[in-house]
Every structure is written in C-alpha cells, then in structure tokens.
Copies of this chain bind each other. A is one copy, B any other.
C-alpha cells in the first residue's frame, strides 16, 4: 500500500541557492525555480537516481511555510512525501490507525498536478507526512 518515497522537502529562504551545493559538490541535476502561487512556495527539485529532494521557499505574505523558515533560519527538513496507489483508501486507513489528516481531509492538487494530503507530524514522529496519488 505504501509506495515510493516521492520526495524529501527542505524549506529554506532561498531555494535556488540551497540546491546549488547539490549541483556543484554532487553533480546532481537541479531544476529551474518554479513559483507555485496557489501553494505559496517557489520550488527547486534536485533529481537523485531513486527520488527527489524538493527545496521550497516562501512565496507571498500568506505562505504556509513562512513561519517554519522564520523559526529555522538555516532551513530545515519540512516534510516527506510518499506515493500511494489510492489516496482515499490510504487516508481512511491512516485515520483508522489514529493519524490526523490536516485541513478538511479532501485531497488538493499538489506540486506535481496530482491529489495530495498532509498528516499531522505528531502522529508521525515529528515528521510532517504528505501522501500523493501515484
């Protein structure tokens, strides 16, 4: 039921700058910076052979990661995202196991154009968990 680790997201003040060392020291492929105004973030992806690192930077006044970046001036790991074959079945099973879904529990369209949901970090060892319809 649990699919691939889709990405690890690191929230920072400057996504392009943060991704840079992965390009220079590691020769990894770095995407362009893509603003996602509807999510309040700018994203830069680093592609690894088996998954991605997503750097996210606050965009706009109401960015959902503004406070996180304020609290973590150097940046920090913000969430991990897992693919699931059926997001509604996965949501219901996780809720049945006691995990709290964030927001109204209805999937929204995420950065990859697919439905996503977030779960409370307190139910996942302090790690904010995103699930994405594979």
Contacts and interface: CB of A to CB of B under 8 A. Distances in A.
A125 B18 contact: yes
Interface stretch (A35-43, A58-66, A107-115, A116-124): A116-124
A33 interface: no
A26 B96 CA distance: 12
Given A72-B126, A75-B126, A126-B77, A28 B8 contact: no
Contacts of A126: 10, 12, 72, 74-77
B125 A94 contact: no
A80 B48 CA distance: 13
Contacts of A103: none
Contact of A48 (B2, B12, B18): B2
A124 B84 CA distance: 29
A31 to B, nearest CB: 15
Interface of A: 1-5, 8, 10, 12, 18, 21-22, 24-28, 48-51, 53, 55, 72, 74-77, 80, 82, 84, 90, 93-94, 96-99, 121-127
Given A3-B48, A4-B49, A72-B126, 20 more contacts: A1-B28, A2-B26, A2-B27, A2-B28, A4-B51, A5-B48, A12-B126, A21-B97, A21-B98, A21-B123, A24-B97, A25-B94, A25-B97, A25-B99, A26-B82, A26-B94, A74-B121, A76-B127, A77-B77, A77-B80
